[in-house]
Chains A and B, each alone.
Chain A
């Protein structure tokens, strides 16, 4: 019992290594199968001839065999180096460190918005089954599931920025007139507050609302469904009937006996949603010109910049693994049956 957490940790690490290796192989292969030749791309200048192109190719190491390139890449990874970006000229990790807070800040707000909407709605829908809230939730989750986040983002921009004019310009993290506060945490809102600039804090927060809402809508569909389903299962369970039969109040049963059990499947979905928000909301970042890791990765991809793309995929994969591990550990702490048999 006591070492269940440790056992899960070890088991997860053991399965992680082949997963990450697979990710490395697939990314390496896929990116090299893309059309376009980085050597041509980066050598193209007014006077670039075959000799220059060949020189760039050699410099990038692309003249070697694929196996040799892969081996060199693995060795680099093994010593913790992710290479340099050709576009920024900086080490990839430094680029990521600079952009990650923007992504995290947005993801956290979006996650909070999604969870804050989906959890109460899911509970209400389950408690008042087939009532109007339930019908509304059904429409909401179908719509949210069917609509890509970036499309929802476009609609939001159209209505709230273009037509109504209540939302700020959907570009970047700060209004055009503002000077950014000194970077302390990288979280714009927090840095504004640390700099004592409350007005700028509200401006920064305002900038986050539309992109965060676009990301949240993607999260609402699965969370709402899981919450409603989990809650219905719990409410129909024998243990809920039994605790009612023993005279526990409806509220006590709902919050103490049904909700914790219903949250277990939602927890797993939360991890998935949060990982996706951090790692896979490239389109939203692009749409709102948000200077996060997603926008960075897509620029690198378009620019045939191999190192950042490979690093991005690997980092996101590690993130998923860590998130799954965290959920495993929380679930096993809450549920004594978890991870047995």
Chain B
């Protein structure tokens, strides 16, 4: 991590809300289960949200809430035990779930790219970084020679501020730092100029300063090139700093979604409230810091309540367990799925990003 990325300051201004009429990606009522020896894991339940072109949406929630599964479902890489029980994933007008494997393969990397939490492990340890990037580029540009592909990648790495790109390409992943590996992955993701990037906890494995560099790089590239991004994270501060909208997942259900400025400052769902209360940002003393109550329910249960948060919710009542989740709108894009949304007064709280730890 020798170099400062030669990038303008990030913190791009919040964009005007993109046209709602034609989202780039619309996930509609997606329900996914996994067959295991001990029963079906009901991983995603009726998940719906959309992303406009060039928009950046944060997918937040605790570990195990279904964030990564949502991302992998879009890539259709859930593995052979997964069962998509219902729903559609409409990308640029076509349902990805009904595409042929060949068409899906042409979509992966080329139109939707994904980067992962552990960049070092995501790069084959016995291949040089250059060989991996060349393979990716050439799998989408038939007839491109290795030398030409390499030249394009060197130029790309150079453009995104990686020093001595040719030297880096000769290295094996184990010879590079985690931050450098993640920047290489970001380069790989942008190499084929996709419309959407799914970033699954891209900085969780990095130290805080590297985190900042990598996030700045990723988000600046997205903004500059008009690439939409799904940013999967459990770090609400990062989400509010870099994203336009947030989608809050809990146990495979979307409980609240809307602009980050609303969702992460004055949440209307008790779960979002709970997440924010457990963060240190903007709190004066430790008494204000509250631990998350309870844990995620066992998703193998067949008697899950309709609202899977019901068993942890401070204001639960019988309707929560028995009635389907209602959809309440508090603005053009602010949707809360709760029988008893919070009052805005209750929710007046410090911005999550106000005192971001640095």
Whether both chains belong to one complex is answered with yes
User: What is the bound-complex CA distance between A256 and B138, given in angstroms?
Assistant: 14
* A239 contacts B77, C-beta separation under 8 Å: no
Which of B75, B126, B136 is close to A336, meaning CB atoms less than 8 Å apart? B126
Is A143 among interface residues, defined by CB-CB distance under 8 A? no
* B188 contacts A260, C-beta separation under 8 Å: no
* A245 contacts B77, C-beta separation under 8 Å: yes
Query: A319-341 CB contact bits vs B (8 Å, 1 = yes)?
Result: 00000000000000011110000
User: What is the bound-complex CA distance between A244 and B140, given in angstroms?
Assistant: 12
Is B116 among interface residues, defined by CB-CB distance under 8 A? yes
Q: Which residues of A contact B (CB under 8 A)?
A: 237-239, 241-250, 252, 256-257, 260-261, 264, 334-337
Which of B123, B125, B188 is close to A335, meaning CB atoms less than 8 Å apart? B125
Query: B38-78 CB contact bits vs A (8 Å, 1 = yes)?
Result: 00000000000000000000000000000000000001010
* A337 contacts B106, C-beta separation under 8 Å: no
Q: A130: nearest residue on chain B (CB-CB)? A: B80
Which of B90-98, B107-115, B245-253, B286-294 is the interface stretch?
A: B107-115
Query: B195-214 CB contact bits vs A (8 Å, 1 = yes)?
Result: 00000000000000000000
User: What is the bound-complex CA distance between A245 and B107, given in angstroms?
Assistant: 9
B172 cross-chain contacts in A, Cβ below 8 A? 336-337
Q: A238-B118, A256-B135, A336-B175 are in contact. Are A246 and B125 (CB under 8 A)?
A: no
Which of B101, B110, B139, B188 is close to A252, meaning CB atoms less than 8 Å apart? B139
B163 cross-chain contacts in A, Cβ below 8 A? none
What are 12 inter-chain pairs, A to B, with CB distance below 8 A?
Answer: A238-B116, A239-B121, A242-B114, A242-B123, A243-B124, A243-B136, A244-B75, A245-B108, A250-B105, A336-B174, A336-B175, A337-B172
Q: A261: nearest residue on chain B (CB-CB)? A: B126
* B139 contacts A241, C-beta separation under 8 Å: no
A244 cross-chain contacts in B, Cβ below 8 A? 75, 77, 108
Tally A-B pairs: CB < 8 A. 80
| Minimum CB–CB distance for B190 against chain A, Å | 11
Q: A241-B77, A241-B116 are in contact. Are A247 and B106 (CB under 8 A)?
A: yes
B188 cross-chain contacts in A, Cβ below 8 A? 246
* A239 contacts B122, C-beta separation under 8 Å: yes
Which of A237, A246, A261, A264 is close to B136, meaning CB atoms less than 8 Å apart? A246
Is B186 among interface residues, defined by CB-CB distance under 8 A? no
User: What is the bound-complex CA distance between A52 and B124, given in angstroms?
Assistant: 72
A264 cross-chain contacts in B, Cβ below 8 A? 126
Which of B107, B122, B139 is close to A242, meaning CB atoms less than 8 Å apart? B122
Q: A238-B116, A256-B135, A337-B174 are in contact. Are A249 and B124 (CB under 8 A)?
A: no
B114 cross-chain contacts in A, Cβ below 8 A? 242, 245-246
Which of B75, B122, B136, B189 is close to A248, meaning CB atoms less than 8 Å apart? B136
| Minimum CB–CB distance for A232 against chain B, Å | 12
Q: A244-B77, A336-B172 are in contact. Are A249 and B122 (CB under 8 A)?
A: no
Chain A CB count within 10 A is highest, among B118, B123, B127, B188, for: B127
Query: B125-139 CB contact bits vs A (8 Å, 1 = yes)?
Result: 111000010011001
Q: B75: nearest residue on chain A (CB-CB)? A: A245
User: What is the bound-complex CA distance between A247 and B105, given in angstroms?
Assistant: 5
Q: B106: nearest residue on chain A (CB-CB)? A: A247
* A249 contacts B125, C-beta separation under 8 Å: no
| Minimum CB–CB distance for A136 against chain B, Å | 19
User: What is the bound-complex CA distance between A246 and B104, given in angstroms?
Assistant: 11
A334 cross-chain contacts in B, Cβ below 8 A? 126
| Minimum CB–CB distance for A341 against chain B, Å | 10
| Minimum CB–CB distance for B334 against chain A, Å | 31
User: What is the bound-complex CA distance between A336 and B131, given in angstroms?
Assistant: 14
Is B264 among interface residues, defined by CB-CB distance under 8 A? no
B263 cross-chain contacts in A, Cβ below 8 A? none
| Minimum CB–CB distance for A5 against chain B, Å | 16
A245 cross-chain contacts in B, Cβ below 8 A? 75, 77, 108-109, 113-114, 116
Is B255 among interface residues, defined by CB-CB distance under 8 A? no
* A261 contacts B135, C-beta separation under 8 Å: no
Is B237 among interface residues, defined by CB-CB distance under 8 A? no
Q: A340: nearest residue on chain B (CB-CB)? A: B174
A247 cross-chain contacts in B, Cβ below 8 A? 105-110, 136, 139-140, 192
